[in-house]
Amino acid sequence: MKFAAAIPFLILTAACAQTPAPAWKAPQALTQCQQLRHHGKLPEARQCFSRLANSEDPYLRAEGLWFLNDAKGANDAFRAATKAQPNNPDYKVRWGRLMLDRWQPKDAQDLFTEALAINKEHAGALVGLALIAAENWEQKAAEMAKAALKSDPNLLEAQELLARVALEDNNPDLASKEADKAIAMSNEALDAMAIKATIDWMDDKQQTPWIDKILKINPVYGEAYASAAHFFVINRRYDEGMRFYRKALELNPELWDAKAELGVQLMRVGQEGEARRLLEDCYNNSYGSPAVRNTLKLMDSYKRFVTFETPTTIVRLDKKEADLLKPYVESELLRAMAVYDKKYKMKLSGPVQFELYPNHEDFAVRTMGMPGLGALGVTFGQVVAMDSPTARKPGTNHWASTMWHELSHVYVLTATKHRVPRWFTEGMAVHEETAASPEWGDRLAPDVIKAMADKKLLPIAELDRGFVHPSYPMQVIVSYFQAGRVCDYINEKYGYDRLLKMITAFGERKDTTEVIEQVLGMKPEEFDKQFFAWLDQQHGTTVKNYSEWMKRWRGLQKTAESKQYDDVIKEGKAIRDMYPDYVEGASVYELLADAYAGKGDKTAAIGQLEDYAKHGGRSPATLKKLATLQEESGNKEAAARALARLNYVYPTDEELHRRLGGLYLDLGNRDGAIRELHAVIAMKPLDVADANYKLAMAYKAAGKKDEAREAVLNALEAAPGYKAAQRLLLELDGKD
């Protein structure tokens, strides 16, 4: 995933809603109903909850209506119950759980907070907040669960949540221990047993005693399989995850959350027909979760897309930008696959499907559910979804870099049979971006600098945790950086073959510790020591001087505003290399270039802007300025290279393609000129005649007479009196 949110914690939330924590003593009538449900006696449970739904007690009525899937009625009844007993925190907590079950986390949080205002140690409210944190993949989910257990040491739900969070952190040993604690609390701890079963299944054990124990207690507890599916999916083992969702539905066809998740997963891997049927079934049965509603809307929008297929690729683009993007996307995709075939020493068994979304919200829905959604791209097996270049502010989305990143996932996941820790597959993908071009990839960001200064980078054996349950803001970004630099370090010190050996070892189901010991011949602790020393050599100067750089950079901007060019040059040269990776707004490179240009030294200005580009600067305006200066200095080849960078950043710029097409014509790059001038036409320019005339000239230069004639006729159709086009047509027809 290119930093690219999280799978909603619907399975856990729904399961917990069905088995209330013993944070308070429920009325006997409710307890009887809950026990029937807990043991899988669903018809009897329905009768029992139906009686509660007709109770005069508004609280019992709320619980009954909730089970019967009458969310509105249950909400009204909870409101009446809390109005009658405004200082009863238990009612607020249960009402909050209804809100959480019905996808209203903000309302749920408010109710849990109100309960804590009445009783600051209310275990049920604390576990409710833990569940909300877990939905958001926050590390404080475990902290809140522990707080709930401190308040009520017998709170089974909180203990089961700790097991779940540990397994999400890719720590099966800890997850098993936490699950054992839950089972010690209750020999009917179904969700803890499901964790134990999942650990066995993820270790490729065909049989596990835990599922037999679960089904002996509750023969229709499909939630156990759905819980396992959740873990397979977040570990990118999508096919197995979908099989477990199907098993869940075989036990209980009305397990709507599992059906919805299966539908979403099928959509992600391109099986849209069955996905739609399942999601529509959910919606028609009043299970209209945001995932269900939004995914159905997204699938309806597919009529706006057009698909292009080759033997090895499937590219899906929005119709409004397909003509423009197709040549660039297809050629870059084929180039990347050719490189990866050699680097990874393998070929993919089937075509790769790439989808580009000009509306970021559509992309978010397409990818909704994966931890660490950064917003640029995500991979589901051999299906990749990305923001298109138009989905973001110009200069902020290097789509080609993202493509190489995501395609690396396809190869690494395939090579390891999806048995690979998140840190390694993300680290390889980040490494491959800059391997494709030193100008690509993400730069050293201030948040990373701060994390390095504060010693917040994780040991290699725990690095996955930084992706799944971050403990501080921006830790996901920091973890991407660290994982990428780990792979850079291994490649630099040991060679790329060691990275390939690590891929093989992960595919053999070895964990990070085993792989480091086997492939690199050292303990993880020794690796950390050596890696952090290397990282300090790479970035220690920037980390050490960042505060000083920031202070002086701010002063430099003020100096630049007053056009004190000599002072800008002196100070800019002094601080530029303190933080050479900074290429965002008002970079030192740009300030220096402006100062040199102000003094009439275009050569020095060009040098600064070339350094800006080499360090990954992507501002369209700045790169155009560089191209202009280079062209004015007579270096058309360099100008063309500067503009060509923008095709990877923001190709929906008519001026870019006009200028680059003209430069390519002058330089004799006829194929490049044809591509760029086609891009101009794809953008529906105001001067259609001129665009087609120039395209005809490019075709003529390339010796493609028929294509030239078609283009010049298009020019004359738009402007019949266009003299130059008339002359070119006569020339092409041999009449001039």
Can you give the three-state secondary structure of 316-367, one letter per residue? EEEHHHHHHHHHHHHHHHHHHHHHHHHHCCCCCCCCEEEEEECCHHHHHHHH
Q: What is d(CA 263, CA 281) in angstroms, rounded to the nearest whole number? A: 10
Task: For residue 259, give both structure tokens.
Answer: 């059906």
> Which among 355, 344, 346 is positioned nearest to 378, based on CA atoms?
355
What global pTM score does this model have?
0.88
598 contacts 565 by C-beta, under 8 angstroms = yes
pLDDT over 90, % of the chain = 84
For the CA atoms of 123, 128, 134, 138, what is the dihedral angle to 10 degrees?
-70
Strands (E) across 13-169 are located at none
DSSP, collapsed to helix, strand or coil, labels residue 642 as: helix
Residue pair 497/520 in contact (Cβ under 8 Å)? The answer is: no
- Whole-number Cα distances in Å, 189 to 19, 30, 39, 223, 456: 10, 19, 11, 12, 36
pLDDT at 13 (0 to 100): 34
Give the mean pLDDT of the chain. 92
Instruction: Return the amino acid letter for 292.
Output: V
Q: 111-118: which pairs have CB atoms within 8 A and are 24 or more residues apart?
A: 114/89, 115/89, 115/90, 116/89, 118/87, 118/88, 118/89, 118/92
Residue range 702-708: average pLDDT? 93
Are 128 and 93 spatial neighbours (Cβ–Cβ below 8 Å)? yes
pLDDT of residue 369 exceeding 80, the answer is no
Residue type, 567: D
**Residues 545-591: tens digit of each pLDDT:** 999 999 999 999 999 999 999 999 999 999 999 999 999 999 999 99
pLDDT band for position 19 (50/70/90)?
very low
Percent of the chain with pLDDT over 70: 95
Query: What is the Cα 526 distance to its own chain's centre?
Result: 31
CA distances 727 to 44, 283, 702, 721, Å, are 88, 63, 18, 11
103: tokens are 């996808």
List, for residues 290-321, the tens digit of each pLDDT value.
889 888 988 888 899 999 999 999 999 999 99
- Residue 17 reports pLDDT greater than 50: no
Q: Give the pLDDT confidence of 602-660 residue by residue, as tens digits.
A: 999 999 999 999 999 999 999 999 999 999 999 999 999 999 999 999 999 999 999 99
CA 43, 160, 81, 109 dihedral sign is: negative
Q: For residues 205 and 199, give the distance between their C-alpha atoms in angstroms, rounded to a whole number.
A: 9
